[in-house]
């Protein structure tokens, strides 16, 4: 089991190459390469003609300092109502899968499509997403990387903009998606914070996904009201419950933070020290998973 964290905030602040060096110095075994900016910034380097050369440069940096890219995150959202966006997003997702493969990642998280109100479109979204993930399998095979489905949430205007269920919010549907897609290349990434936001029972979710479906994590904390993506033990999530449940199923994927907002609030001069502390928290949580 490797300890990793996303490089998004450090990458935006210090540059992506330096963020990789910093995470190695902080003590992490690996990094989760964040590619969110591909659909948000037209001039982002991964949208340029020489993007492959750039990714190879990052791979060389990682190899030189001795840190792995274990996981990556595709740009999101994966879909919107606007077809113009979708025509841009799908090729970006494919490009991100290739980029993650170049970096040596074993898993890339790709959000399910959830651009429709979930309650009224559950069956439509299911069919849409099964087709979507199946369309990615040839790229998984080509670039030797698994795509991970993530459990989501959305806000409902009818419910006063409150957070409500979305695709794979509930254990039964999450398991059904993975089983219905029916490919060893498509696995589950459990976002523990998202589980808390919709009121699903975390132990039950982890136990139902089980050892074979659950191959990746997004670990962070929140107050059950907002998707705060901050460091464990700073909000209300029960991490003793989470680590015990992961131990119960013999989880042997990696332990990956998606808690960058803990860094975002700090001045750049403190981000390295904060990353070292994040690493210590991660080592503690990993020990709890392994020991039970």
Q: What pairing do the DSSP bridges indicate for beta strands 68-73 and 30-34?
A: parallel
Find the CATH number of the domain harbouring 152. Answer: 3.20.20.150
What's the rounded Cα separation, in Å, for the pair 149 and 151?
A: 7
Q: Is residue 292 pLDDT above 90, yes or no?
A: no
* Residues 23, 25, 26, 27, CA torsion sign: positive
Confidence of residue 159 (pLDDT cuts 50, 70, 90): confident
What is the count of structural domains for the chain?
1
Angle between helices 171-181 and 118-143 (to 10 degrees): 40
Residue with the bigger pLDDT between 292 and 155: it is 155
Mean pLDDT of all residues in the chain?
97
Q: Are 258 and 191 in contact (CB under 8 A)?
A: yes
Q: Are 3 and 30 in contact (CB under 8 A)?
A: yes
Return the pLDDT at 158: 79
209 upstream amide cis, omega within 30 of 0: no
What's the rounded Cα separation, in Å, for the pair 291 and 185?
A: 29
pLDDT in tens, 16-46: 999 999 999 999 999 999 999 999 999 999 9
Element (H, E) at 92: helix 83-103
Domain that residue 91 falls in? 3-291
- Provide the whole-model pTM: 0.97
Please tell me the chain's helix, strand, coil percentages from 3-state DSSP, rounded to the nearest 5. Answer: 55, 15, 30
Q: What are phi and psi of 149, to 5 degrees?
A: -80, 140
Q: What are phi and psi of 22, to 5 degrees?
A: -65, -40
Return the pLDDT at 173: 98
Q: Are 220 and 228 in contact (CB under 8 A)?
A: yes
Confidence of residue 236 (pLDDT cuts 50, 70, 90): very high
């Amino acid at each position: 089991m490797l300890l990793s964290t996303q490089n998004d905030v450090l990458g935006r602040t210090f540059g992506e190459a330096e963020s990789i060096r910093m995470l190695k110095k902080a003590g992490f075994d690996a990094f989760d390469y964040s590619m969110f900016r591909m659909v948000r910034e037209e001039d982002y380097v991964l949208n340029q003609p020489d993007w492959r050369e750039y990714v190879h440069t990052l791979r060389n940096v990682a190899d030189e300092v001795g840190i792995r890219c274990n996981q990556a995150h595709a740009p999101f959202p994966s879909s919107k109502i606007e077809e113009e966006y979708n025509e841009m997003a799908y090729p970006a997702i494919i490009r991100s899968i290739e980029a993650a493969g170049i970096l040596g990642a074993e898993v890339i998280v790709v959000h399910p499509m959830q651009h429709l109100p979930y309650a009224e479109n559950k069956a439509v979204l299911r069919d849409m997403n099964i087709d979507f993930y199946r369309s990615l399998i040839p790229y998984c095979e080509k670039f030797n990387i698994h795509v991970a489905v993530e459990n989501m949430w959305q806000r409902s205007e009818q419910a006063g903009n409150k957070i409500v269920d979305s695709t794979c919010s509930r254990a039964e549907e999450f398991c059904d998606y993975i089983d219905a897609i029916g490919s060893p290349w498509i696995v589950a990434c459990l976002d523990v914070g998202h589980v808390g936001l919709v009121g699903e029972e975390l132990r039950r979710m982890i136990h139902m996904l089980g050892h074979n479906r659950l191959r990746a994590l997004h670990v962070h904390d929140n107050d059950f009201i907002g998707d705060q993506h901050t460091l464990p033990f700073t909000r209300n999530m029960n991490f003793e419950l989470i680590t015990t449940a992961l131990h119960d199923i013999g989880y042997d994927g990696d332990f990956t933070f998606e808690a960058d907002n803990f860094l975002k609030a700090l001045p750049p001069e403190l981000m390295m020290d904060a990353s070292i502390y994040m690493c210590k928290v991660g080592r503690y949580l990993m020990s709890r998973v392994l020991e039970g």
